[in-house]
Structure 1
Amino acid sequence: MPNATRVRQPSDTAADAAFVRAHTQVQPVPFVPEVRLHMAEDAIALWETTETARGEIGMPPPFWAFAWAGGVGVARYVLDHPELVAGRTVLDLAAGSGLVGVAAALRGASSVRAAEIDAYAVTAIGINAELNGVRISAAVEDLLDGDGGPAEVVLAGDVFYERAMAARFLPFLERARARGAEVVVGDPGRRYLPRERFTALAAYDVPVVADLEDAARKTTTVWRLAG
């Protein structure tokens, strides 16, 4: 699940890296054991710690410290269907931990670009890419007014959980599809996904962090945006 409310400019990269490492543990991702990530155990505690470290109240949750169901579904699909990304340029949009981008790189993407608006997330993506032995170009940037070019494949996990988010993401994804990109998203039944615009590729029963989802598992569908 991404954060897309406002861009948070890069801070002290070394300090951010130390923060990420200090407050997470390296673990294999449930349902995607081929990938290991720096992940946290307690979302609320980390959220409060992040606000204290930044000296700012009202920060978004630390999306980068967890493997959200939508991203897990896309990563599983990419790992099982390498033809989607092999030899192609990939954009991991609102990348969070970088899970989806790591999966694409592991399956032979020619390059992977990850976009996030949280400096902690960008730092975590770099750390997680190194942990998995892959390269990802990550930056703090809001791309939603563009079309994702020149990426040949645009991947996004769990971006339709809020009305305002959906209102920005859908036009972006449609512009990417209109210029010829393959667009694939993961969604665990969020309210604002316009299902009539997508074709289902696969569905998985994904284990999730119960404190974040009020459930132990979520049925997650991987969708392709129709042309």
Structure 2
Amino acid sequence: MARLPKDPENFIRTNTALEAPAMVPEFRLWLASEYVPIWQATEAWLEEQNVDPPYWAFCWPGGQAIARYLLDNPSLVAGKRVIDFAAGSGVSSMAAARCGAASVVANDIDRLSLIAASLNASANGLSIETSGEDWLAGAPGSPEADVVIAGDVCYEREMSVQALAWLRSHAEKGRLVLLGDPGRNYFSAQGLEERGRYEIPTTLQLENRGMRETVVWRVLPVS
């Protein structure tokens, strides 16, 4: 895997601004205002074409919903080991840390995402760990955790199948598993229990509507 160019922190700060997400105004994150410019800037900085979309530069509805739900129900993660799958900007990880989790690991296979998540946590006086491992390729129910959170992971068919199977493997071990989803194409509510529902303002730069009804689901073990 190629090394990131020098000073990724400066790249993030230069091409984003500290903004408060609509559903979690308690936080300020390094976010981009438009999609195309940050993608083009990322390609230029990496000196590559067709790079992975800079999902880390936006606070997606699923992550905001998880963050809001945790902030309103802090006892769910207080004193617990929390892992955040496909963490993106890290907003859900930050909420878990703010609620007093014993440890929080933000995971993403995009290394720039992990740097952005760390910068976001630092900007809010929080501390999180990061992991770039491909958790879907590991053993079911790993790594160890008390609470597993994930937001907006059902964009693609194969990814959705793998992610939901991995999340359910944690539920089978008796862990609290929460998934935030705004009705993505490959999402299925089968075997899930609704825990919270939110209307989240979005931008037409990213979504096909100005508001996204987003649900926090608990992933249940197979009965």
Fold shared by both chains (TM-score > 0.5): yes
**2:212 corresponds to 1:212:** no
**2:103 corresponds to 1:106:** no
**Contact 1:9–1:119 (CA<8 Å) still a contact in 2?**
no
CA distance in 1, matches of 2:14, 2:131: 22
SS in 1 for 2:20: strand
**2:4 corresponds to 1:11:** yes
Partner residue, 2:89? 97
**2:167 corresponds to 1:173:** yes
**Contact 2:78–2:99 (CA<8 Å) still a contact in 1?**
yes
1:10–1:173 CA distance, 2 compared to 1 (3 A): farther
SS in 1 for 2:50: coil
CA distance in 1, matches of 2:67, 2:91: 7
Partner residue, 1:224? 218
User: What is the TM-score normalised by the length of structure 1?
Assistant: 0.93
Q: Which amino acid aligns with 1:120?
A: L
SS in 2 for 1:33: coil
After superposition, where does 1:48-197 map in structure 2 within 5 Å?
Answer: 48-146=40-138, 147-197=141-191
CA distance in 1, matches of 2:107, 2:178: 16
SS in 2 for 1:32: coil
User: What is the TM-score normalised by the length of structure 2?
Assistant: 0.94
**2:190 corresponds to 1:199:** no
**Contact 2:4–2:46 (CA<8 Å) still a contact in 1?**
no
* Identical counterparts, % of pairs: 40
Task: Tell which deviates more after alignment, 200-209 or 140-149.
Answer: 140-149
Query: 1:209 Cα shift?
Result: 2.2
Which digits, 9 at most, give the CA deviation of each residue in 1:95-134, with x for residues without a partner? Answer: 0000000000001101000111111111101101101111
Q: Which runs of 5+ in 2 are unaligned?
A: none
Q: Which amino acid aligns with 2:4?
A: S
Q: Which runs of 5+ in 1 are unaligned?
A: 1-7
CA distance in 2, matches of 1:131, 1:115: 19
SS in 1 for 2:4: coil
Structure possessing the higher relative contact order (Cα contacts under 8 Å, 6 or more residues apart)? 1
CA distance in 1, matches of 2:214, 2:158: 21
**Contact 2:135–2:143 (CA<8 Å) still a contact in 1?**
no
Query: 1:9 Cα shift?
Result: 5.8
Which digits, 9 at most, give the CA deviation of each residue in 1:159-199, with x for residues without a partner? Answer: 01210111210111111111222110100011212201100
Which digits, 9 at most, give the CA deviation of each residue in 1:131-154, with x for residues without a partner? Answer: 111111012221112323211100
